[in-house]
Chains A and B, each alone.
Chain A
């Protein structure tokens, strides 16, 4: 599975847009990019997934450049409730491949 690198932590003020970038230089042709969010004392939950270009849903946007060696999770106008750990995962979504999580990025939103 492709190894991912993301910042350990980030701070942001309420109302700002937050961009978390994940590097995955050895991503394979069949790999998708998935982001999960984890609040304290809860299990992670799926946020967004993409293969290339841009994906947007009600929670976030995911930007993937043409070479797919990195991806950026964008959270618009964060609030205090967006304080969480964000995980970038890269891997196959075909077959029975387990999800491998890294250490994630701890986002702290400040009032």
Chain B
């Protein structure tokens, strides 16, 4: 079974703190993604990576950065947390998207509250 593990289910941080959200996958997937999910807005793509040390901006990258030093690990960094970054953060991984039935596997999510 593919496993995507996010380091924390719940996290509370103070405004201005630097926050690291870690994601590890165990299936040697090339692609990894970070989304945030807010009520009424669905899932929005923050960043994605299709190879080690490669990163691409998604729809809402402002206020975030990412790091992919190893294939299995993709970290999301909030340089200076703000209250509007309070959200559910979801990590996903997939093989390169080719062919039918290629799917993305998601972690359980990290509910981050910035106070």
Interface residues in chain A, defined as those with a beta carbon under 8 Å from any beta carbon in chain B: 32, 34, 41-46, 49, 51, 87, 92-104
**Residue B74 CB within 8 A of the other chain:** no
Instruction: For the complex, count residues of B whose C-beta is within 8 A of A.
Output: 34
Does the CB pair A49–B43 fall under 8 Å?
no
What are 9 of the A-B contact pairs (CB < 8 Å)? A43-B109, A46-B101, A87-B43, A93-B97, A95-B97, A96-B50, A98-B33, A99-B33, A102-B42
Q: What's the A-B contact tally at a CB cutoff of 8 Å?
A: 72
For the complex, give the distance between the alpha carbons of A70 and B50 in Å: 29
List, in ascending order, chain A residues with CB within 8 A of B92's CB: 43, 99
Bitwise interface map of B from 25 to 51 toward A, beta carbon under 8 Å scored 1, else 0: 000001101010000111111001010
Does the CB pair B43–A94 fall under 8 Å?
no
